[in-house]
């Protein structure tokens, strides 16, 4: 073999070794870092918690195309399975994207409170669940989901399964606490007057502001119970005045950093055991 061929073979070997080392490092990072992302789906909620090939999607926004576009940015193209989907309540801007998701991805389990709606959006969701044979379970306080490499979502509300029909669906919204290391994040759906149903709730680091910043949620009393340092508002163009100037003032009054999907787009917190917490 000529010297030139030897040098070429050696260069190819070094390059292949470098590529393999980079892939191994990336794969380790992909499998171990946990990310919680508040997706920018307009005036609605969609929160994706990912750890490697394991995902929980809480709410699905109003439109399937918006949800799929955002989920596609956060999940690698080869991962076509979403392990758990949770509907905090049956309002259209929280479940509207789920039918499209179930057509594009393998959704294994659908969790909800038991409350339903007679809207076309909810009927389309029920049809998609049946067509794609998605396992359906009711969840309430005490239920939890643990990730294999750390991190846990615990349901704090409702206290029991809800009746099939409710006059005010927002009042039955699921409240979940995601804990990773020293970080606790409270996810509140559209729950109004939170302090009346969660009077003994423990403090958190990050609050997902309820109901897109509606004036009927996020009171000073509730903020004083939680003592969060950061607040995330999932909001888009709307005719309701969300987020309410009153709510924004309450958050500022308590010295919180305010983040909004309508101004920042997707908002992601990355959690690692090296840091033992979640950071932007």
pTM of the entire structure? 0.91
189/59 Cα distance (integer angstroms)? 8
Length of the chain: 280
pLDDT of res. 52: 94
Mean predicted confidence (pLDDT) in 244-261 = 98
Going by pLDDT thresholds of 50, 70 and 90, the confidence category of residue 24 is: very low
Tell which residue, 262, 266, 208, 212, has the closest CA to residue 240. Answer: 212
pLDDT tens digits along 43-62: 999 999 999 999 999 999 99
Question: In the 8-state DSSP scheme, what is residue 267?
Answer: E
For the cut 90, the answer to whether the pLDDT of residue 12 exceeds it is no
Mean predicted confidence (pLDDT) in 195-216 = 97
Tell which residue, 147, 84, 136, 135, has the closest CA to residue 113. Answer: 136
- Comparison of pLDDT for 31 and 172, the residue scoring more: 172
pLDDT of res. 19: 64
DSSP per position, 96-162: TTHHHHHHHSEEEEEEE-S----SHHHHHHHHHHHHTT-EEEE--TT-EEE-TTS-EEEEEE-SSPP
Domain ranges of the chain: 1-31, 33-279
Mean predicted confidence (pLDDT) in 122-145 = 97
pLDDT tens digits along 73-91: 999 999 999 999 999 999 9
- Topology annotation, domain 33-279: Metallo-beta-lactamase; Chain A (3.60.15)
Lookup result for tokens 């073979």: 9
pLDDT of res. 26: 46
For the cut 90, the answer to whether the pLDDT of residue 136 exceeds it is yes
pLDDT of res. 29: 54
Going by pLDDT thresholds of 50, 70 and 90, the confidence category of residue 18 is: low
């Amino acid at each position: 073999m000529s010297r030139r061929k030897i040098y070429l073979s050696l260069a190819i070997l070094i390059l292949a070794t470098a590529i393999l080392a980079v892939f191994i490092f990336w794969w380790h990072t992909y499998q171990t870092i946990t990310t919680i992302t508040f997706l920018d789906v307009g005036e609605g909620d969609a929160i994706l918690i990912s750890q490697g090939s394991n995902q929980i999607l809480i709410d699905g926004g109003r439109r399937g195309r918006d949800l799929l576009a955002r989920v596609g940015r956060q999940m690698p193209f080869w991962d076509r399975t979403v392990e758990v989907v949770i509907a905090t309540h049956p309002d259209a801007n929280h479940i509207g994207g789920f039918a499209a998701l179930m057509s594009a991805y393998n959704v294994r389990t659908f969790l909800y409170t038991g409350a339903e709606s007679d809207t076309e959006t909810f009927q389309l969701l029920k049809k998609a669940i049946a067509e794609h044979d998605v396992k359906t379970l009711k969840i309430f306080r005490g239920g939890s989901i643990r990730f294999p490499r750390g991190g846990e979502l615990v349901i704090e509300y409702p206290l029991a399964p809800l009746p099939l029909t409710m006059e005010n669906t927002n009042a039955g919204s699921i409240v979940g606490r995601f804990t990773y290391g020293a970080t606790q994040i409270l996810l509140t759906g559209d729950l109004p007057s939170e302090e009346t149903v969660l009077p003994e709730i423990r403090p958190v680091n990050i609050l997902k502001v309820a109901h897109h910043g509606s004036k009927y949620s996020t009171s000073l009393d509730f903020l004083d119970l939680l003592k969060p340092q950061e607040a995330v508002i999932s909001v888009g163009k709307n005719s309701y005045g969300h987020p309410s100037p009153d709510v924004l003032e309450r958050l500022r009054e308590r010295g919180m950093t305010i983040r909004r999907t309508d101004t920042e787009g997707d908002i992601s917190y990355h959690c690692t055991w090296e840091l033992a917490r979640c950071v932007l």
